Each structure stands twice: as C-alpha cells, then as structure tokens.
A and B are shown apart, each in its own frame.
Chain A
Amino acid sequence: MIPPQDLLLILFGSAIVTSLSDIFGKKLGVKLIPGYIASLSLAVTLLFSIGLKPGKYSPQIAAPIPEAELIVDGLSKLLVQLFLAVAASASVHSLSYMREDDDLGAYFTLLLLLTAGVAGAVLSNDLFTFYCFWELTSISAYSLVGFRWWHWEPAEASLKYLFIGTSGALVTLYSVSLVYGLAGTTNFEEVKLSVAGLRGSMLMQVISTFFLIGLGTSAALVPFHSWLPDAHPAAPSPVSALLSGVVVNVPLYLMMRLYLGILPANLNLGYALIAMGLLSSIFGNLAALRQLDVKRFLAYSTIANVGYMLVGLGAAHRALSVGSSYQAVEAVTGMLIHMVNHSLSKSLLFLCIGNAIHGIGSRLFESLEGYGRGMRLTGVLSAIGLLNLAGIPPLAGYWGKMLITVGLAFKLQDPVITLALLLLEANFALAAGAYAYFIFREYKGLKPKVKEAPLYMILPELALALACTILSLNPALIVETVRSYVEALLGR
C-alpha cells in the first residue's frame, strides 16, 4: 500500500535523473537514454498507482507547501491511473517520434514534470496545493508546446498559451484568495463547512464565477479557448495527446469537486454551466468542419468534448440545486465516463495522427488523405478512436453521452432545459458526422507512399485501443465503479 507522496516522489526523482542522464546520453552517443528512463519510470509509477492506499495525507516533508493535503479516494485514484497511462503512452510514442530532435533530456524531464503536476493536482485536497501543482503542469506544458522553438509556429503558440493560461490560473488563484478570506483556510472539507450557509450570496456568486472563468480557461471553454487551436498543432504529437487527454481534464475535475461538493448549489449557476458547455460544443463542432489542418480539427473537437463534460456538470449542479441527487449522480457519472473515454480516444487519435504526420511529413488533410491505406494498422486504430468519440453504441463513448442526457432530462417543463437537451443531441449528431467524415478521408484517395510506423509508436496505440475495446465490451466495468465513487462523493 503506497501513499501518494511516494508516487510524486518517484516522478520528481526520475525527472531529476532524466535531466542528468542527458549528459551521459550525449557522451555515449545514445540520445534516447532520458526517454527510456522516463518511460520506465512512468510505467513503474502506473504499476504503483494500483496500490495507492485510500485516505488523507499531509506530507509535511515532501512538499514545502504549508498545510498541503492529499486525498486518495476512488475517483482520484482512477483519474491518476488514467493520466499516468496516457502519459506513459505518450512517452513511449515520443521515443520514436522525437528521434530526430536534440535536447531530449529537457523534453522528457518536462514530460515527467507535467505528469507529476497532473498527478499532484488530481490528488490534492486543498485549493492552494492544487494551484501549485497546476502551475507546475502549466509551465511544463508551455515549454513542451514551444519545444521546437527554432520554428516560428511553436514559439507563437507557446507564447499565446502562456498568456491566456496564466491569466486563467491567476484568476483562479484570486478566487482561491476570496475563499481563503471567507474560510480562513483552503482545505476542501473545511471550506465546505464554512460556505455552506452562504447560498446565493453575492460573494458566493463572484467566487463561483471566478472559478468558472479561471478553470474554464485551462479547460479551454468558449470564450476562453483561444489558446487551444494554436497550441495543439504546434506541439509535437505526443504532447498534443497529453494536452487533450490529460491537461484539459484536470481543471474539469476540480470544477466537479467544487461545484458538486464544496460550493453551494445554485440554479442559475447550473444554467450558466450548461449554457457555456453548449456554447463550447457548438463552437467546437462547427469550427472543426472547416479546418484544413488535421490537428487543428482534433483541437476543436476537444473543445466540443469539454463542452459536453461541462453540460454534464451543469446538469448535475442544476439537479442538486433542485434537490434531485439521483440525476446528479447520473450526470456526473456520465461526465466522468466521458472524460475517461475522451482521454483514451483522443490521445489514441493524436498518437495515430502522429504516426501519419511523421511518415508523410505534413499536417494538412489533403496530404494525409488516404493514410489508412498505406498504414493499415494505424488506420484501424484511428478508426477505433474516432468511432469511440462519435459515441456510436455499443462502443464505450456512447455511455458517457447517454448518461449526461439522462442527467439533463428531467423536469422538462423548464423550457431552458428542453432547448438545452435538443441542442445537445444536435451536437452529438454533428460531431458524429464530423468524425465519420474523418474516417472517410482516412481511406479516400490514392495510397500515399508510406510504410507502417515503427514499433514504439504502435505499441502505446495498441494499448490505448485495447483499453477502449475492453471498455466497450464491458461498460459495467467503468459505469458501475464510477457511479459508486460519485455516490460516495455526493454522500448518498
């Protein structure tokens, strides 16, 4: 049984080792030594994370953050494992993808630091702890996006990401300071007790809104999304996979914890969340249709999917505010399942597209058209990812969307909700069409002269596709477990 600080310690320690190993690597002429160390340590951490012991931890030594508290319960353990798995896949993929780059010690160190930040953020039980780990993640992310800074595109994208991301993080921190002012502490449980009576007050609204703005920036919600469509194409494909699969989900997780456990429920806030979610999904789906760059298409699709998750969250918040906790459980379960599915499928997609881009050398649709014919296995794996995202039953992606709809669809006398429901379903249909179009283009046209990708690229994709398939064959595996965690969270 392992306490979470050990997990973080492994990650931090291996980050140091990786950066130092770069020197040895250069002396020996084997560039990829940092990569091997990073991938190995991520795999080891993933294995260890299975043995995380549930409970609350106050690591006074491992973290200089005062009153830091980490919590391991069903949900955080599940998400940590998920994110570690995606990170490990990206790391193994990078072994082939980044073969021609220099400075790989820096790359893999940043990768490890990003993962450490994400793990710590998800495990934290305290707002400021979250902020610290989140900043670690963000800084690593900014650097990774701008990794190939000798080219103009990553430089500009990284700059914009830094500005908008930091604005968001700072607004979040401002909100944390307001909470601190109210409660005298930033610990989740103590805050919950302190703010319980402040339902509907002006200050509470301001706090909730600032959290929404701040975390929404990091999660790429419209209108705070501007950094995402630039950052994804500019980053190397494994980093894009991490961005979409991991980095964007962490603020959503915090939003879920805040809006469902800690901050009091407010009907108007629920509406606002649903509206913003719908706005994001409509915008994402529509803008994706006109993209010429494959990774930009996937970036807009991420925005749309985050929109669905926010709709689920809003539906849960609304359900709580009118006192119906059954729908809240369904909606949040749907949101989390969608998060898991999206994380797995989107990273799978980004990695597969990385194969194609690496082989063909261009990111445009018209150059990549028909890559499924040349790289058969990659084509099949990306089709699996796309179908999963499209949410076609009985694949796993369907369950998340269905449960979100179930959570939204009650007390339909409310015209806002009926309209929201219709728009949501229309969005699902539109997205499914867009992904089908993608699959079509994958196989259309003449076979480009490209061989199948090397083993290091295929292996992690196979693992992710296997995970998707297992979830599709036995959805009870994830639906039931997540539902039980959510019920524990909501105290039913």
Chain B
Amino acid sequence: MYEWVNLLWVMPTLCALSIPLLSRVSKLLRDIAPALVCCATVATAVLLLRLPGRAPVSLKFDWVFLPGFGRVQFGLYIDTLSVVMSNVVAWISLVVFIYSLGYMEGDSSLDRYWFFMLLFLGGMELLVMSENLIQMLLGWEVVGVCSFALISYWYKDSKEERRVRWVGEPPEEYPPSHCGLKAFLVTRLADTFIVAGIITLSIMARTVSFAELLALDPGENRLLQATLALLFVGATGKSAQLPFTEWLPDAMAGPTSASALIHAATMVKAGVFLTARVVQIALAWGLGARSPSLFKFILWTGVLTAFAAALQAVVTSELKKTLAYSTMSQIGYMLACLGAASVTRELSLASSLFHLISHAIFKSALFLCAGVMIHTVGSRFYEDLKGIGRSMKALYVFFAVAALSLTGVPPLMGFWSKEAVLASIVKADTLAALLAIATAAITAFYTVRMLALTYGVGVKQTSRVHNSLKLTMLAPCAFLAAACLALGLLGSTFEELFYSAFSSAEPGNLAYTPFTLGAVAAGAALAALHYLRAFSFPGFLEPFRYVLKHRLYLNTAYYLVARGIASMGTCAGIFDSLYTKALLSSAAAANKFGEKLKVLQTGVLTHEELLWVVGGALILALLTIFR
C-alpha cells in the first residue's frame, strides 16, 4: 500500500539520468525540470506527514535469491524519524534548487551540476527511507559521490577565480579539486567503520534490517553493542565530528548552493540520522539503563566537537568557513543531545530532530545569503566583504535574522530548539552541559563578529553599484528567514505538535533559559565591544589564537599521515610496476597465442574434417578407456 513512497527517491534519480537528454532538447527545460521534480518530491514528502498512526511501517521487496546467502531485499522503513528527515531534505532542496537558477546562471557545465544535485536528492531520500543498513549504505555512498563531485565542481582550479573558488590562505590554500578529494577520502575513512559495523552486525545478529534489529534482544552480548559504536564512528565522518572534522571547512570550495544543501542542511545530517537510528536500537536493547557507555561516547564526541569548532569559528577570515565551523558545532549539539538519550529517552530524540530542522532552515538561509554576498563582491574574505551589508540592506536583514536564530535569540526558532537540546544535555551530564553553554556564548561571539564584519562598521560608504538582485536568489533567502521567524513565533505550539509525534515525549521546560541567555548575552557583548568599540583583547590570548588559526593542528596531522602513507606508496609502486609488467606481458602472450591459434583455421575443408574426426576419436577413446 505504501509502494508510492518509493517515488521519493525514484523521481529525482530518473530526472538526474535524463538531464543529458533534457539539455539536448532545451536548456531552459533542463533548468526548470529539477525544480519541478523537487516540487513533486516535496508533495510526496508532505503526503507522508499525513500518514495515520505512529507505528512504523516496514516494507520489503525481494530482489534476488543468492544461493548460500539468502534473499537480498530492499525496502522502506517509514517512521517519524524518516518522515521528518525526508521532509527536511525535500523542502530545503526545493529552496536551494530555485536559488541555483539564479546563482549558477551562465555557468557552462550546468548539466553536471543538475545531474549531481538531483542524484544527491535521490540518494539522500533513499538513505533516510531505507529499510536496512545495506540499502542505507548505498544511499550513503551515492551522496558521498555527489558531494565529491559538487565540491570539486570547478575542478579546473583556475587561478583567476582564486578569491572566490579556492579555500584557505597560504600555506593552507586549497583548490577545489583537492578539496573534493579530501572530503571524499576523509569520509571514506569513516565509511570503513560503518562497513565493519554492518559486517559484524550481520554476522552476529543475522540481520541488518532496522525493524528486525529493533526487535532483537541482545542479552549480555558486548560485541553487539560494540557494533553500534562502530556505526556511530562511521556516522561522525559524514557529520564532520572529531576526529573527522577536517573536510568540512575545505568543502566550502564548492558552489554555495551545494554548500547550503549538502554541507549544511542535509548530507551532514545523514550522520545524525544514522546516530539517531543507532540510539533507537540501543534504547530498544535496553542499553540506556544497563551500559550507558555508548551514550556517553556519543555525548562527549558531540560536546567536544561543538566546543572546538565554535572556537575555530572565532578566528576565521572567510565568511563561508565561519559557517562551516558553525555547522560542525551545531551538529555537535545534536549528537550530544542524542547521547543524552540514556537519561531522557525519546525526548532527546525529539529534541535533537527539532534542532535539526531549525538548523537546516537557518543554516541554509545563512549560506544562501553568504552566497549572494560572495557572488556580488567576488571574494570570500571578510576584508573584501566589508560593507556589503550596508549596500544590500534587504539581504542583510535576512542574513541577520538567520544569524540571530543561530545564536538562539528569542523569539526565533533557534531559541526554542537550543533550549530543548540543552535541557536534555543538562539532565545527562553537568560538565557537558557547562561546555555546551560555554559554546553557546562562543556562538554568539562569532555570530556577532560575522555580522559586524559584513556590515562594515567603520568603513566608509563605498559607491558600489549593485545590479538589482535576481528574485530567484533573493526569494529563497527571504522565505527561509521568514520561516525562522514564523516558526519561532509559533514556537511552543510547533513544539507541542512535534513532540506529540514521538511517543511518551514531553517538551522540556525552560528552567535553564536564564543561564543560556546570559551566556549568549555575554558572548554577544564581548564581540560587540571588540568590533564596534574597538576593544582589544589582552595579549595572553594570542597563542590560543595562533593554535586556533592553524585548526588545532588537526589538519596538519592529517597531511602528515597522508604524506607518510604516500611514501609507503612508493614502495607499493614498485610492486605495482612489476604487476603491470606481468599483466602486459601476459596480455601480449595471449595475443601471440591467439595469433598462433588462428593457424588452426587453415580454411581447407578436408583439414577441418580431419580435425573433427581426430578430436572426436580422441574423446571417444578417452571416455571409453576411463569409464
């Protein structure tokens, strides 16, 4: 009955495959079609919201029966988590696709762009609706490939576009092709953990289906719990949490629409999705009470990443990099909230998802506005962007609204979601909560910094004439900012509706609001003092600044390891050249042998008959002698 849900991923994938055809027909058609398909996807996703009942629906389709392995099935698992995620993905994709119409206009390889954007949508929907881990892994890989392709979209690495398209400052300046590869390899490294987890799980639990795993009773099997940890570590890779953080800041080399969709709103949330599933399974196995070490692991990974990333956001000199670190930090919040599930159970799941939705909205708004700014000015650095806020007032308003939502200022939506998350974390671990509140303060700091730098306080008004912004670029930003505001004003009602979809979950109270608001105010005040009143920081903070600028040396560590492996590769290179030689000579030998074999066909009928008779006689003799 629910087979139509498959349309969610089938439609975008089919459209992706037909992009080359459509572009031959008409370029306009090729540009409009993705938006139309996305509308259809949104419609399907919205239909899902009206599904009755809270019990999850699990559909399975047989694909093929392999001897010795059993049935290979794929299917859909429709529960609140997947419905929410698919809606987030569909809606944000629609907004970003419309934005892309204006942002990417005039680019020469739009076929490639649309193909990967649509394929990404299909893969992401497949990922969130999948019924078992292997199918989810398929979606996981597809979005990984699309992410790689979109980061290195401007793979030609032209030096002229360096101020817009590259990432970083010398000596850590990276071209887009390098960034794409880096993202792919780092997430790949994390994927090995997922694969290990799936293999172990399938051996020990004999199933990889979510529905069956939830119903499983693991007893005292420690190894089974360890597989969940493996899956979580893999998820951290996709979500750019410690220790797999280094790809996300450099992923900003891609087009901003891709950054908004993939690296802010959806793909990085895939890790959160997987962690949410892991937490669901862990709760169903009763691990919350018995052995909460997994949850503690998740909690602390999230909180530490949130803190470290926020600190690094303070010292960035590029607009998109600030937003990237901010994304890492907020996802850290979501994961920390999930880690609190040992205490607060479904409530934490709901709160984490709530923050996910809210973050998706304001972060994509931030990215889209940033994209417009960078596109107009032609540079990604703050020093060039100074004053842009003054010239594009409407855009700046949307930007500011989204930024305030990020900070958690009432009555915007970010406030409600942050409160919910912090309430869960506080119940789980006090130290972690303190760190989280400190992070909120730092978030406020870097947000105000970002706003001040783009507004250009103290910069004289330049006479920059900006062409009227395209509606397709402005409207999405407006829409998202309005959503932050509207959903925030409806805050508590929305919360009630949302939480009622999760069984036995009540929204947290606002008992800790004074602390958080106090922290936010402190951070904001500090930033305002520095940037608006030119208050300078004491000198002893300088070494910290230096370390943060160098990305806590984590990036350097990665490159050191990579270089080490590469030098090992030269040894492997010797083996490789030997192997290639062997392969080539065997191919040459096969060719020569084939040449010799041709002689067998002399073309003379008598000889052919002779061959026939002799062959037959030989077989006859052999078979009669050896009976």
Contact = CB atoms under 8 A, between A and B. Distances in A.
Given A159-B605, A223-B611, A202 B624 contact: yes
Interface string A400-412: 0001001000000
B63 interface: yes
Contact of B623 (A222, A269, A290): A269
By CB atoms of chain A within 10 A, which of B67, B603, B626 has the most? Answer: B67
A290 B595 CA distance: 6
A375 interface: no
B62 A476 contact: yes
A224 B612 contact: yes
B624 A226 contact: no
Interface string B612-627: 1011100110111011
Interface in A443-492: 474-476, 479-480
Contact of B627 (A159, A202, A430, A480): A202
B553 to A, nearest CB: 44
A230 B601 CA distance: 9
A206 B67 contact: no
A200 B609 CA distance: 29
Given A200-B627, A330-B67, A217 B597 contact: no
Contacts of B68: 406
A96 interface: no
Interface in A162-194: 163-164, 167, 171
A68 interface: no
A286 B597 contact: yes
Nearest to B626: A268
B65 interface: yes
Interface in B42-71: 62-65, 67-68
A463 B15 CA distance: 23
Contacts of B620: 206, 209-210, 213
A250 B85 CA distance: 55
Contacts of B611: 223, 226
Interface residues of A, number: 45
A283 interface: yes
Contacts of A480: 65
A203 to B, nearest CB: 10
B65 A163 contact: no
Contacts of B594: 286-290
A212 B619 contact: yes
Contacts of B64: 399, 475-476, 479
Nearest to A329: B67
Nearest to A406: B67
Contacts of B63: 474-476
Interface string B162-198: 0000000000000000000000000000000000000
A142 to B, nearest CB: 14
A163 B624 contact: no
Interface string B59-89: 0001111011000000000000000000000
Contacts of A208: 623
A272 interface: yes
Contacts of A403: 67
Contact of B605 (A160, A269, A272, A406): A160
B598 A290 contact: yes
A255 to B, nearest CB: 14
A475 B605 CA distance: 43
A269 B594 CA distance: 28
A229 B602 CA distance: 12
A205 B624 contact: yes
A337 to B, nearest CB: 11
A290 B616 CA distance: 27
Nearest to A160: B605
A330 B67 CA distance: 8
B590 interface: yes
Give the dominant DSSP class at A's interface. helix
Given A290-B591, A476-B63, A229 B623 contact: no
Contacts of B62: 476
B537 interface: no
By CB atoms of chain B within 10 A, which of A160, A201, A226, A287 has the most? Answer: A226
B623 A205 contact: yes
Contacts of B559: none
Nearest to B627: A200
A222 B615 CA distance: 8
A403 B66 CA distance: 9
B612 A226 contact: yes
B593 interface: yes
Interface residues of B, number: 30
Nearest to A168: B612
B69 to A, nearest CB: 11
Contact of A171 (B616, B622, B626): B616
Contacts of B65: 476, 479-480
Contact of B609 (A159, A164, A268): A164
Nearest to B68: A406
Contacts of B612: 164, 167, 217, 223-224, 226
A165 to B, nearest CB: 11
Given A205-B623, A480-B65, A283 B605 contact: no
B590 A430 contact: yes
A287 B598 contact: yes
A266 interface: yes
B561 to A, nearest CB: 34
Contacts of B605: 159-160, 163
A160 B608 contact: yes
A190 B525 CA distance: 100
Contacts of B595: 290
Contacts of A217: 612
Given A403-B67, A479-B64, A480-B65, A286 B593 contact: yes
Interface in A198-235: 200-202, 205-206, 208-210, 212-213, 217, 222-224, 226-227, 229-230
B619 A206 contact: no
Contacts of A290: 591, 594-595, 598
Nearest to B589: A286
A392 to B, nearest CB: 16
Contact of A164 (B591, B593, B608, B622): B608
A224 B609 CA distance: 8
A229 B608 CA distance: 12
Nearest to A430: B590
B619 A213 contact: yes
Interface in A290-311: 290
B447 to A, nearest CB: 48
A212 B65 CA distance: 33
Nearest to A290: B594
Contacts of B616: 171, 209, 213, 224
A209 B623 CA distance: 7
Given A206-B624, A224-B616, A287 B597 contact: yes
B14 to A, nearest CB: 13
Contacts of A474: 63
A416 B615 CA distance: 21
B619 A209 contact: yes
Interface of A: 159-160, 163-164, 167, 171, 200-202, 205-206, 208-210, 212-213, 217, 222-224, 226-227, 229-230, 266, 268-269, 272, 276, 283, 286-290, 330, 399, 403, 406, 430, 474-476, 479-480
Given A164-B609, A289-B594, 18 more contacts: A160-B608, A164-B612, A167-B609, A205-B623, A206-B620, A208-B623, A213-B616, A213-B620, A223-B614, A224-B615, A224-B616, A226-B601, A227-B608, A268-B627, A286-B593, A289-B590, A475-B63, A479-B65
25 contacts: A160-B608, A167-B609, A209-B623, A209-B624, A210-B620, A212-B619, A213-B615, A222-B615, A223-B612, A230-B601, A266-B627, A268-B623, A268-B627, A269-B623, A272-B619, A287-B594, A287-B597, A287-B598, A288-B594, A289-B591, A403-B67, A475-B63, A476-B62, A476-B63, A479-B64
Nearest 10 A/B pairs, CB to CB: A223-B615, A226-B608, A286-B594, A213-B616, A290-B594, A289-B594, A209-B620, A268-B626, A476-B64, A475-B64
